[in-house]
Structure formats: structure tokens, C-alpha cells
Amino acid sequence: MPDPPDVQAAVEEAHRGEWGLVLAATARFVGGDLSLAEEATQDAFVAALQTWGERGIPRRPGAWLTATARRKALDVIRRDAVLRRKLPALAASASEQTDDDEEGDVIPDDRLRLVFTCCHPALAPEARSALTLRLVCGLSTAEIARAYLVPEATLAVRITRAKKKIAAAAIPYRVPEGPDLAERTDDVLTVVHLVFTAGHTATGGDELVRADLVARSLDLARVLASLLPEDPEVVGLLALLELTDARRDARVGADGELVLLEDQDRSRWDRTAVDHGLAMLDRGLRLTGPQHPPGRFLLQAALAAVHAEAATWEDTDWAAAVLLYDQLLVVWPSPVVALNRGVAVGFAEGPAAGLAALDRLAPEPMLARYHYLPAARAELLRRLDRVAEAAAAYREALTLVTAEPERRHLERRLATLPG
Amino acid sequence: MPRFMYVIAVDEAAMANATPEQMEQMMTAHNDWGKAVADAGATVIAGDPLAPSSTATTVRHAEDGSPIVTDGPFAETKEALGGYYILECADGDVALALAKSLPAGTVELRPIVDLPS
């Protein structure tokens, strides 16, 4: 009989690695009923704690859990069928299937169906990431609520409502085909990127939970890249997340302060993650061509690579960055991208050119409340020795900034202006 | 097969000022959409334009259950309920694709609840 700590560890490892697979396979088995699949998956993990302790840890934990979850789901269907005499056909066909594949066969795109369903455009955007973290990654509603700083009850309602809508609106449990696939893949990538950003950006809240969001989004990006290996944007997202996350240790100073890219100790970047990210970027770029120009995730990964490949901030190839921003603006015409392009122009062609580019963005309503625009202007004015205007721009940025580490950074910059 | 209701919102002022040519174009667009519905393996069960919201009557109920009749639609907005379709189709993805191609500015797509017979 295995030691209880070993069983606990094996169940935790399976939960981390197999939850999404088990739930996805169970959901297919019960015709896309996600609530039933979730309940049955949960029950299977509870059963594993006991059964594995008594009979040993199975050779293939995922297969054991899938077979168990299906049996649990079947129990519910049979019970309901007896109660309502409504689903005898489904119960019968399900029981035939389960006798044949006691091991619980797992077809590779099961998780893909689950992800596409969780990220369906008919669901509210904030519900998509919550549902993905719950059903695909197996995070509890309490963990997701802590990560997003919302009350657990609010989050539970959000997830329940989304599951009800999937059922009521007959949202199919399948991977979209044809022209829909690219558009729906973009929806999925957006959700994964948002989960990463929520974990990566310092917005307060529980440090451990946020690190978990980063790890889960990287897991999701890897799963997607293995299931859709021919899609340059999918590969591009993985490259982007790896290259960005490689800087994690260097982003926070000894005093807990946020360290800007410019000031980071590049020897603290995770070289393995950088190398893997660069390899992914290379693979993604080779999948593009005249018919498939690089999209926003691949281009952002290429921009992250410009920094990853520079030994120092001064070595940054800003001309390459400007070209990449130009391409990015074509596929993603966002004022925030134009703002970042302006900053790159400031380094590639000098502060006066950068300032001219930023000043063209001043009337943009989307940037009116965005502290980064006056902060970027302040840096350029500083380099042009226009000290009074720089100070005014820092002060404007300080009236708009919300995150505490960024506020402290702006205050330091203002205080160190030459008087 | 699931059924869906397409609730179409229209700008009534623009509708009132539409020229005969514009009305004709709208009819053609809806006829073309009917072909797209058939191509998607879906069926139009019903579909009609509605008389303007100035002709609407809303019935609410007071706390004691007595009906209160008011002149006008649910909510006074720039856009008003202008027409509807009821379709039967394979699933929510087909329904959503057809909602996107429906020749109308704003469409609310609602699943129809099947009551047990």
C-alpha cells in the first residue's frame, strides 16, 4: 500500500496535469453537458484519494480518472433517467461505450473542444477566462476569485451563468471549422493572453495566486501549440508568453520595487525560457507567408525577441522594433500600439522624432486617461533638456496612474529631474 | 433542433424617412438572407416586421396583481423593436452565424425554451 503522502502527491500532480483532459473527455462522453462533466470530474478526484490509497496508484492516472469520471457521470444520467424516464437512449448508448473502453480513451482534441467552448464569443469576456480556469485548468472558484480580486460569490455566479448560457443557447461542444476557426482561435488566444497578463502585471492581490495564473496560462499556451501546431498565431502566443515570463525575476528589485526593462539586470533573465521562446518565434515565423502574414501575437513575440536578443538596453535594435510596430499597427490598429511605436521612434530616430509621433496621438480619446502617454512624453522632454515641460508631463502622469509601483517610479523620475 | 428568436432593433426615424428604393433594397436583403438560412440547413418558422413602437402598448402588473396598461414600448430608446424571426437550426453556432449575416443594424439572439408537451 502506498504511503498517504505519495497518494496525496500523485493526486495533486494528476489534478495539475490531467484535470482538463479528464473533464474534456467526460464532457464529450455526456454530449457536452459541462456542469455534469465538472461534477463527475470532481467526484473522480475525490475517489482517487481513497482508492489509490487502498489499491495503489494506477499506471495511467489520467485514464483511471477519465474512466471513473465517466462512470460517475453515467450514475447521474441513470439516476435522472429513472427519475424522469427521459434519457434512456443516452444512458444505454453511454453504458455500451464504457464497457468497451474501460480505460477511458482520450482523443487528442478533447481539450481543444473544451477550450473553444469556454472561450465562445457568445459568453461575456470576463466569464470566458473564469470558465477556462475552472473547467480547463481545474482552479477552484475561490482561487480564481482571489486572482481577479472579486468576491467568490460574484465569480461563482459568473461561471454558473456562463454554463447555463452554453446549455440554453445550444452552443455546440466542438472545434469550429473552416473560416470560423481562425476567428475563434483568436478569441481563445485572447483569453489565454488575458490570464497571463492578469498574473504578470503587478496589480496587488495574492502573489502566489498570480504566479499560478502565469503558470496556468503558459500550460494552456503549450497545450494549444501542441494541438494546433500549424497555426502561427498559436505558436506566436507561446513565444510571447515565454519571452515575457523569462524576465520575471529581473522585474522586481531587492526592495520589491518594479524594475523597468531599461534598468533590468539581464543576467537574471531565464536563458532557457528565452531560448525556447526564440525557437518558438522562429517556428511561428516559418509558418507565415504571403497567404498567412504574421498576426498580432507573433509580432508581439518578435518585439519581445528584439529585447531578449539585446545584451544591454543600449544594444536594442530600435529600427527593427519600429518596423515591427508598423506591421503590428496594420493588423491591430490600436492607439496603445501607436504609443509604443512612438516610444521606439524616440530611440531609433531621436527624442524629437519620438515626441512628434506621440503628439500626433494626443487627440486619441482612448489614451486620454492613460498615464503612459504623458509619462512617455516626459521621458522624451527630459532627453531634450526641456525640464519644465518634462516636470509638467510627469505631474500629469501622476494624476492618472493607479498602480502603486508605477506611481513610485514616476515620483522618483520627477524628483531626479535636473533643477 | 433548437429554435432561436432573432429580435431586430431598428432606428425608427431612419425607417420612417426611408425612400421606396431603400425599402426595396431592404426587402431584397431579407430575401437573400432567407436563402442563406436555407443554405445553412436552417428553417424560418416565422418572421415579420412590426408596426412602429408608437403603436406599442405595454401591460405591467401592480403588486396586487392588477394589470396596468401603458401606452408605449418596454423601454424608450433610440432603437426600437422593429421585427423578428424564429428559426430552427442545428446549434448555437449556426444561429450566431446567421445573426451576423442578418441585414439589420442590431439583432438580439435568444434561444427559445422548449416547454415539455
Q: What confidence tens digit (pLDDT) does each residue in A53-83 have?
A: 999 999 999 999 999 999 999 999 888 877 7
A203 or A13, which is more confident?
A: A13
The percent of residues above 70 in pLDDT, for chain B, comes to 99
| Strand-pair partners of B4 | B87, B111
- What was the pLDDT predicted at A376? 96
Residues of chain B neighbouring A169 (CB-CB closer than 8 A): 92, 95, 109, 111
| Chain A residue numbers touching B95 (CB-CB < 8 A) | 169-170
Say if CB A328 and CB A300 are below 8 A apart: yes
Render the burial of A273-312: b for 16+ CB within 10 Å, e for the rest.
bbebbbebbebbbebbeeeeebbbbbbbbbbbbbbbebee
Mean pLDDT of A199-221: 79
Q: What is the pLDDT of residues B57-109, one digit of tens each?
A: 888 888 888 888 888 888 777 778 889 999 999 999 999 999 999 988 789 99
Residue of chain A with shortest Cα separation from B109: A169
Number of other CB atoms surrounding residue A399 within 10 Å? 9
Distance from CA of B2 to the nearest CA of A (A): 7
| Contact state of A170 with B2 under an 8 Å Cβ cutoff | yes
* Per-residue confidence (pLDDT) for residue A284, from 0 to 100: 97
Contact A61, A10 (CB under 8 A): yes
**pLDDT above 90 as % of chain A:** 69
Residue in B90, B92, B113 closest to A122 by CB: B92
Chain A interface, mutation test: which of B1, B6, B93, B110, most A Cβ atoms within 10 Å? B93
User: What average pLDDT score do residues A88-108 get?
Assistant: 49
* Beta bridge partners of residue B8, listed in sequence order: B83, B107
What is the average pLDDT across B10-37?
91
Lowest mean pLDDT among A168-172, A258-262, A305-309, A340-344: A258-262
- C-alpha A26/C-alpha A107 separation (Å) is 11
The cell for A317 is 535594435
- Mean pLDDT value across chain B: 89
Angle at B91 between CA A173 and CA A182, to 5 degrees: 60
**Residues A289-296, mean pLDDT to the nearest whole number:** 89
> Over 90: is that where the pLDDT of A44 sits?
yes
Of A378, A377, A383, which is closest to residue A359 (Cα–Cα)?
A: A377
> What does the block give as the cell for A372?
503612459
Instruction: Please tell me the distance from the alpha carbon of residue A207 to that of residue A195, in angstroms, as a whole number.
Output: 15
The yes-or-no verdict on residue A47 having pLDDT over 90 is yes
CB count within 10 Å of CB A9 equals 13
Q: Sort out which chain A residues have CB atoms less than 8 A from B96's CB and list them.
A: 121-122
State which residue of chain B sits closest to A170, comparing Cα positions: B92
* Mean predicted confidence (pLDDT) in A326-349: 95
A vs B, Cβ pairs < 8 A, gives: 25
Cα–Cα dist A281/A244, whole Å: 12
CB atoms within 10 A of CB B64: 5
Measured CA distances, A277 to A179, A298, A328 (Å) = 28, 11, 19
- Cβ-defined contact of B96 to A121 (cutoff 8 Å): yes
Residues of B in contact with A170 (CB under 8 A): 2, 91-92, 95, 111
ipTM over 0.90: no
- For an interface test with B, which of A120, A171, A187 has the most B Cβ atoms less than 10 Å from its Cβ? A171
Sheet strands side by side (includes B43-49): B43-49, B79-88, B3-11, B106-111
Mean pLDDT estimate for chain A? 89
- Return the closest-CA partner of residue A150 out of A183, A127, A117, A177: A127
pLDDT tens per residue across span A108-163: 568 899 999 999 999 998 899 999 999 999 999 998 888 787 899 999 999 999 99
The predicted structure's pLDDT at residue A205 = 55
User: Residue A45 — pLDDT band, cuts 50, 70, 90?
Assistant: very high
| Cα–chain center distance at A186 | 12
How many residues are there in chain A? 419
pTM: 0.83
Residues of B with CB under 8 A from a CB of A: 2, 90-93, 95-97, 109, 111, 113
